[in-house]
């Protein structure tokens, strides 16, 4: 059957939402759920269906961003291994125990910390301006991995903000500049972590198969375009985008904790 004007306009709106959310997420290193998840709920999906659909669509963000970033930056194999092997167990546990975590308290704490991240970054003008990768000893690497495990748990259990935590941790602890940190976040969080989270959540919760193709297309294109702009504009522009999105995500999480 031919698509009606109403259906065409609806999917066009859905495509715009996905493009916008994933463009800014690829530019700043996280936060697609700030725009995309609430939009899916407002457009009529129940919360859990919207969450599962969003998580699956976010994998396309990782694919689009990875394609662009892998052609632009060399990657450190030790850091790659740390993000994968420390983060994925956290994602798996977070996705399984999402219903056991008090959502209101979690959103409140994460909202406050995310706002503080944005303020901290904006008050440190030289933070992440240049890449000076630190040579960490075994204890420092272990601590870095433990934090990545915890962020992975958050990634599996919430829909917004975890990518921003990975980005700032890679800048602060490992010495990456913002552009390179976002590249690692989009490739390994956007693709590897989100794929596992989507698989676990999708097995337990129904997904909107009618909405998903449009979201996948928008996420793929948005991820690629956001990454392309981030590479062209450099770390200072990415840093500013990170700070703006961190404040937006933090305020959004506070509203989730205590809606007015």
pLDDT tens column, 5-28: 678 888 888 999 899 888 988 888
Among candidate residues 121, 110, 94, the one with its CA nearest the CA of residue 182:
121
Whole-angstrom CA distances from 186 to 59, 195, 238 are 10, 12, 13
d(CA 24, CA 179): 13
Single pTM value for the model: 0.82
Cα angle at 94 between 150 and 241, to 5 degrees?
A: 60
> What's the mean pLDDT when you consider all of the chain?
82
31 φψ region: left (φ > 0), alpha (ψ -120 to 50), beta (else): left
Q: Give the pLDDT confidence score for residue 39 in this predicted structure.
A: 79
pLDDT tens column, 43-90: 888 877 887 888 888 889 888 888 888 888 888 888 999 999 999 999
pLDDT tens column, 166-212: 988 998 899 888 888 888 998 888 888 888 888 887 776 778 888 89
Q: Is 210 exposed, middle or buried (0-12, 13-18, 19+ CB in 10 A)?
A: exposed
- Sequence spans of domains, the chain: 8-257
For the chain, report the end-to-end CA distance as a whole number of angstroms: 43
Q: Is the dihedral of CA 246, 249, 252, 256 positive or negative?
A: negative
The encoded tokens of residue 166 equal 């990975």
């Amino acid at each position: 059957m031919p698509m009606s004007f109403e259906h065409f306009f609806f999917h066009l709106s859905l495509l715009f939402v996905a493009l916008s959310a994933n463009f800014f997420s690829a530019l700043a290193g996280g936060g697609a759920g700030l725009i995309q998840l609430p939009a899916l709920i407002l457009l009529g999906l129940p919360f859990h269906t919207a969450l599962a659909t969003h998580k699956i669509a976010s994998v396309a963000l990782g694919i689009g961003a990875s394609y662009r970033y892998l052609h632009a930056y060399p990657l450190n194999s030790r850091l790659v291994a740390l993000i994968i092997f420390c983060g994925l167990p956290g994602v798996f546990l977070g996705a399984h125990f999402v219903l056991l975590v008090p959502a209101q308290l979690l959103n409140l704490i994460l909202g406050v910390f995310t706002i503080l991240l944005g303020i901290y970054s904006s008050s440190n003008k030289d933070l992440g301006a240049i890449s000076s990768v630190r040579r960490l000893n075994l204890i420092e690497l272990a601590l870095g991995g433990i934090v990545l495990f915890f962020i992975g748990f958050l990634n599996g259990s919430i829909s917004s903000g975890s990518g921003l935590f990975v980005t700032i941790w890679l800048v602060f602890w490992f010495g990456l500049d913002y552009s390179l940190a976002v590249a690692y976040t989009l490739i390994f969080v956007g693709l590897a972590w989100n794929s596992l989270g989507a698989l676990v959540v999708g097995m337990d919760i129904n997904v909107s198969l009618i909405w998903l193709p449009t979201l996948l297309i928008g996420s793929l294109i948005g991820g690629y375009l956001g990454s392309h702009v981030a590479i062209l504009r450099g770390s200072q522009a990415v840093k500013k985008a990170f700070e703006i999105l961190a404040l937006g995500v933090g305020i959004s999480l506070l509203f989730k904790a205590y809606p007015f």
